Structure 1
Amino acid sequence: MSERLRVKQASPLLSFLTTELKGWSRSKIKQRLTTGCIIVNGQPIMRHDHEINVGDDVEVRATGKNVQLKVSRLEILYSDNDLIVINKPAGLLSVATANENKDHALAILRKQLTRPKRTVNLWPVHRLDRDTSGVLMFATSREMREAVMDGWAEAEKTYLAVVEGCPNPSQGTIDQPLRIDPEKYQMIVGPHPEAKKAITHFNTQRTVRERSLLEVQLETGRQHQIRAHMAWLGHPLIGDPRYGTEGPRMGLHALRLSITRPKTGKRLTFETPAPDDFLNLLR
């Protein structure tokens, strides 16, 4: 079961919860915060000093794990006649899967942009894992999608990652091929006739309490590349049970994407800062 609350006066989140949740101990409320059970306007929040405003929706859930994120609108970072770039929240699929075909970014964005007598068609240029937040691009035609993909090798893809431990040396390159294990749906690192080239560059930004914030650049874009490479290095992402351990959210955020726009040849860069629930992984 969960409780839904509406904010009537601006205040820090913990103060609001302490007032509204009659009979709850302060330690119980903090436990719900740290495990990602407090949802503000559809986003898990773990900072007790997070400022909430009048009209905000606050949901208190019994568990923060494996709960389907409900989103009705997406933040649009950029749009023109050919391309639309959004800030995808963690917990939301990029596109439909065999098991889930309703609540995903493609469907939500299509509905958000559609007007009477004007249906919007969208094609995903790339994808982000469900639990990865950040920059996600769509094209408004199959031709534009293919044109962008033709130059995808020159795209610059920059991520932020929160990992266990502190890499030594603090920066470097992982040049290890990857192949999929279809039974475990997991990438296997290392040379193999079926493995494909995969190169990941990383640079440690800071370390807090045995966790490190890395800036990561992809030279290739294999499925689960950062997750598999960092686990292979001995520093798995926080909150990644497939390659590491459980957590309130996965420590991966698509910070920046830079492409050469087809038709004009202009260089376009899209960026969105890491959300609070990501940065809370370092606290």
Structure 2
Amino acid sequence: MHKRKRKSNTNQTQSPTKQYTVKEPTELLVFLLDTLSNLGRNSVKSLLSHGQVLVNDQAVTKYNFPLQAGQTVSIRKVKVTNTSNMTGIIILHEDEDIIVIEKESGLLSVSSSEENEITAYRQLMDHVRRENPKNRIFVVHRLDRDTSGVMMFAKSQEVQQIMQNSWKDMVKERLYIALVEGSVKKKEGTIKSWLKETKTFKTYSSARSNDGKLAVTHYKVIKFNSNFSLLKVNLDTGRKNQIRVHMQDIGHSIVGDKKYGSRSKPIGRLGLHAQVLSFMHPITGHLLRFETKIPKLFLSPFRGKPTK
């Protein structure tokens, strides 16, 4: 793992400061409420959502994470972030090296042809420069404008290069939730193709092997009815528009995705959400995992109808 001298900054993430040993099997939220009796329920949930709780040195955000006797739960101090002046962003975690956010659908991640358009990148740049005008952030990966969910940025070019050069090895889990058209008959499967791009920047699967960039997508149906299916989607590769193209390839375009064959827009947005991102911290080597809730809109087509 890459190492470098860390500068001292009392406003940034510190090493875990409080540790507790689990005595008997329980769930994480229950354990924290019992152990941190001086804190209210909302305060404890805030610790979880901001990545301040570690189980055996792994950051955990899931309330019902199962604990076993003998495990160590650590609570670390992190910088308190005010996001009230940001649009479409919740900061899940921030330390000296990285920022992890949850982005809303409709917010552009990075660049725009419109000079004054609000982007996640621009807002986070303003955020870090409030502390020091020389601070910057660096793009590690992107989410499409209409895709919501977890994404991360680096706070130095060095960290950006570490993450980008070792992305496949350092990222341990990328889980998306996709709401697609129709009832997917095969309830679990893998889609593999070679992706290329047209002159108008539309991605498509080539009919020939080794013609383009290999893309591998795994999916599992978690809810369905005659009109829609809700899928968990895991990626082996992170190609541009990969999930959108692969869903079209199997005849079940993502809802609201007119570009890739969708004929419906039941939730008023693209039905794609980056729910989980888990990766090795580029400097500390700790495994971090961030999980967000499935957007309520994604569940609306299944209310009052038979589901799996």
Fold match (TM-score > 0.5): yes
Helix, strand or coil for the counterpart of 2:214?
A: coil
Cα deviation for residue 113 of structure 1 reads 3.6
Aligned-CA RMSD value: 2.0
1: CA distance between counterparts of 2:146 and 2:291? 18
1:186 pairs with one of 174, 198, 202 = 202
2: CA distance between counterparts of 1:163 and 1:120? 41
Cα deviation for residue 271 of structure 1 reads 1.5
Identify the residue that residue 219 of structure 1 maps to in structure 2: 236
The answer on whether the counterparts of 1:73 and 1:109 sit within 8 Å (CA) in structure 2 is no
The answer on whether the counterparts of 2:180 and 2:252 sit within 8 Å (CA) in structure 1 is yes
Q: For residues 275 and 100 of structure 1, do their structure 2 counterparts lie closer, same or farther at Cα, with a shift above 3 Å needed?
A: farther
The answer on whether the counterparts of 1:74 and 1:109 sit within 8 Å (CA) in structure 2 is no
2: CA distance between counterparts of 1:189 and 1:73? 32
2: CA distance between counterparts of 1:181 and 1:90? 25
Cα deviation for residue 101 of structure 1 reads 5.6
How do residues 201-220 of structure 1 correspond to structure 2 at under 5 angstroms? 201-220=218-237
**Is 1:87 aligned to residue 107 of structure 2?**
no
Q: For residues 117 and 232 of structure 1, do their structure 2 counterparts lie closer, same or farther at Cα, with a shift above 3 Å needed?
A: closer
1:106 pairs with one of 121, 133, 144 = 121
Q: For residues 73 and 195 of structure 1, do their structure 2 counterparts lie closer, same or farther at Cα, with a shift above 3 Å needed?
A: closer
Cα deviation for residue 278 of structure 1 reads 3.6
**Is 1:136 aligned to residue 151 of structure 2?**
yes
Cα deviation for residue 98 of structure 1 reads 3.5
2: CA distance between counterparts of 1:73 and 1:91? 8
2: CA distance between counterparts of 1:112 and 1:213? 35
The answer on whether the counterparts of 1:162 and 1:282 sit within 8 Å (CA) in structure 2 is no
Unaligned runs of 5+ in 1: 1-69
Identify the residue that residue 273 of structure 1 maps to in structure 2: 293
Cα deviation for residue 170 of structure 1 reads 0.5
Helix, strand or coil for the counterpart of 1:176?
A: strand
Identify the residue that residue 17 of structure 2 maps to in structure 1: none
Identify the residue that residue 240 of structure 1 maps to in structure 2: 257
2: CA distance between counterparts of 1:280 and 1:242? 23
Helix, strand or coil for the counterpart of 1:221?
A: coil
The answer on whether the counterparts of 2:139 and 2:154 sit within 8 Å (CA) in structure 1 is yes
**Is 1:249 aligned to residue 285 of structure 2?**
no
2: CA distance between counterparts of 1:200 and 1:260? 22
Helix, strand or coil for the counterpart of 2:258?
A: coil
Q: TM-score, normalised by structure 2?
A: 0.64
Cα deviation for residue 266 of structure 1 reads 1.6
Q: TM-score, normalised by structure 1?
A: 0.70
Q: For residues 281 and 126 of structure 1, do their structure 2 counterparts lie closer, same or farther at Cα, with a shift above 3 Å needed?
A: farther
Cα deviation for residue 74 of structure 1 reads 2.1
Give the letter aligned to residue 223 of structure 1.
K
The answer on whether the counterparts of 1:255 and 1:271 sit within 8 Å (CA) in structure 2 is yes
Q: For residues 136 and 120 of structure 1, do their structure 2 counterparts lie closer, same or farther at Cα, with a shift above 3 Å needed?
A: same
Q: For residues 281 and 103 of structure 1, do their structure 2 counterparts lie closer, same or farther at Cα, with a shift above 3 Å needed?
A: farther
Q: Kindly tell me the number of residue pairs found equivalent between the two proteins.
A: 213
Identify the residue that residue 180 of structure 2 maps to in structure 1: 163
Unaligned runs of 5+ in 2: 1-84, 304-308
The answer on whether the counterparts of 2:194 and 2:211 sit within 8 Å (CA) in structure 1 is no
Q: For residues 120 and 209 of structure 1, do their structure 2 counterparts lie closer, same or farther at Cα, with a shift above 3 Å needed?
A: farther
Cα deviation for residue 265 of structure 1 reads 2.0
Cα deviation for residue 282 of structure 1 reads 4.4
Identify the residue that residue 262 of structure 1 maps to in structure 2: 282
The answer on whether the counterparts of 1:73 and 1:112 sit within 8 Å (CA) in structure 2 is no
